[in-house]
Amino acid sequence: MILDSGPSEALLRLELVSDPPQFAVSTPGRTEEGTLQLTFSKPGDGTSSRYYPGDPDTPVDPNAPAVKCRKITVSLPIGPDATDLTDNPAAIDPGFHDSKGTPWRVTPATSGTEIVFTCVPDNPTEQVTFEGVRRFTLILGSIPINPTPGDVQLTVVEETATGNDWKPRSLVIPAINKSGSIFFFRRFSALRPRVERGKAATLIWDGSHGAGTTYYLSWDAFSGTKVVSGSSYVTHELTETTTFVLDARTRSSTGQVIHHLLSTTVIVKDSDVRAAAMTVRGTLRTDRIRPITFPGLLQISGPVLAHGDLSIGRGGTLYTRNISGKNQSPIDIAANVSTGADLLRVAGQFQLKGSADLIGAGTLYTLRVGGKAGPITARSAGLVIGWAELQRADWIASMITIEAGGRTVHASATKNATPSSSPEVACTAVLAVRPNESFTITHHDEVGNNSNPTLAHFYWIPFGFAGAGGASTPSGPDTAADGTPAP
C-alpha cells in the first residue's frame, strides 16, 4: 500500500508505504505483523520514493521554497477495535533514515488510546532544512495487527516553516485498511538450506490459509505437483541439489485461476549430478560408487580416472587422448574410437567393433571391410599383419595391401562360386615397420551377386611384446597413433 498526503496546510509531502501492502488481522492462533514507512520530503523536488517503477514522479517546481523542520509526530490509535491498529504497542520497533545522514531522536510515548512517536533532529540547532531531494523516513516495524478488521486513521503533525512562520501543521493521509480475508504469500525457504546426502529437508512458508487458496509443490526430477497444506513440508530424502517451486493458487472474482509462485533451492552435500552439458577444466573425480548422469554432452579438459567400468553406448563415439587399462581383462568398445597425439595403453586384449584411427601397445584386432586404415605412426618398430577371410558360397576375391616408407606388400585370395561347399580361403600380408614410420592398410573386396561382407583384420605387433595370439603388459617402448585428432 502506497499513500500520498492530500491537500493541507502542511509544507512537507508525506508518502506512506506498508509492508505487506495489505494488512491482515491477527487470529487466535497467529499474530500478523506489519511495517509502516513514512517518508517526508519537500514538494516540487521532481523525484519520488515510490517502491514500484512506473509510478508518476512529482513535478519539478524550481520556485518551491526550502522547508525548515523542528519536529514530526506520528500517532497510531491503539486498542482492540476496528479503528485501532494494534493492541500491543510495546512490540513496535521504531527506526529512521535521513538521506543527509543527520541523526534524529525517535521517542515513543503511550497514552490510553494512542502511541505517539516524536521525531526531533539530534543536532545543535535541533532543526533540519528540506531542500533539493532531502528525505527523512520514519520506520515503524513489527507492528502486531489487532484482530478486528477495519480502517485506521493515523495522525501526522509537522512543526515547520519557510521563514519565521513556525507552527504545527497537520498532514492528511488516507486510512490504512485491515482485512480479515486477505490473501498473502511470502518467505518460502528451507529450514536448513544445506543437508547431507540422503537426508530430507523441511520447507517453510508464510501464507494465508483461508478458503479458496491451495498450495501445490513441485521440484526437479518430479514432473507433477503435490498438494501441501499448513505452513511447512518435509521433503523426500534428497540425493541431489534440488529447486522447489511452491504455487499458491487462488481464483479471481470471475473464477479464473491465479498462480502465485515462489521458489527455493536446497543444496545437498556430495550431490548427484544431472546435466544436459557439462564442461570440466580441472579434474573430475569420484570416490564413491554413485551414478553421474549426463543426458547431453560431457566435456572434460582434465584427466578422468575410472576405477570401475567405462562404457560407451552403441552408436556413440569415444574421443580419447590417454586410456590406461590396469586389469588383464579385455577392453571392449562397441563404438568408433579416435585418439589424439598421446598414448593409448592396453594391458589386456583390445577388441574394437567399430572403425579406428589408432594403434595399441599390445594385440590390436579390428574390422575394416573394403576400407582403409591410416596413416598410422608407430613409435616403435614392429610388424603389421593384414588378413582377409573369404567365407561366402558365391564367387569372391579379396586383397590386402600394406604400405610404409615407400614399401608395399599385397596378398590376395579368390573363392569360386562352385562348388558351394568349397572350403574357406584366406590371404595374409606382412610388412615390417620402422620406429616413427607411418603405414596404411587397405582392403579391396570384389564380389559376385552376394553382398555379404568378408572378414578383414589387421594386427600390430610391436617388437618386444607378446605375439599375435594374445597380449601382455608392455615391456618395451610404447606405441601410439596420430590418426584423426579428437575434437
The DSSP code sequence of 93-114 is: EEEEEETT---EEEEEEE-SSE
Residue 187 φ then ψ, to 5°? 55, 55
DSSP assignment letter at 484: S
pLDDT for res 144: 96
Tell me what percent of the chain is helix, strand and coil, each rounded to the nearest 5. 0, 50, 50
* Three-state DSSP state, 146: coil
Residue 486 has pLDDT above 50, yes or no: no
pLDDT tens per residue, range 182-217: 677 888 999 999 999 999 999 999 887 665 788 999
The DSSP bridge partners found for residue 248 are 215, 260
Q: What angle (nearest 5°) sits at the alpha carbon of residue 447, between those of residues 442 and 448?
A: 170
What average pLDDT does range 362-374 have in this prediction? 56
pLDDT in tens, 416-447: 665 555 566 778 889 988 888 888 888 776 65
Whether 384 contacts 460, CB under 8 Å: yes
Is 124 in a helix, a strand, or coil? coil
Size of the chain in residues? 487
Give the mean model confidence (pLDDT) for residues 48-66: 54
User: What single letter denotes the amino acid at residue 267?
Assistant: I
Residues 78 and 86 sit within 8 Å (Cβ to Cβ): yes
* AA letter at 4: D
Please say if the pLDDT value at position 377 is more than 50: yes
Average pLDDT over residues 404-417: 82
Question: What do you get for the CA distance between the two ends of the chain, in Å?
Answer: 59
Res 453: pLDDT: 46
Whether the predicted pLDDT of 281 surpasses 80: no
Domains and CATH numbers, the chain: 2-179 (2.60.40.1510), 185-268 (2.60.40.10), 312-462 (no CATH)
368 vs 458: CA distance, rounded Å? 9
Q: Give the pLDDT score at 303.
A: 67
Arithmetic mean of pLDDT over the chain = 75
Of 179, 186, 178, 183, residue with least CA distance to 251: 183
Largest Cα–Cα distance in the chain?
Answer: 129
pTM of the model: 0.41
Residue with cell string 519557510 = 162
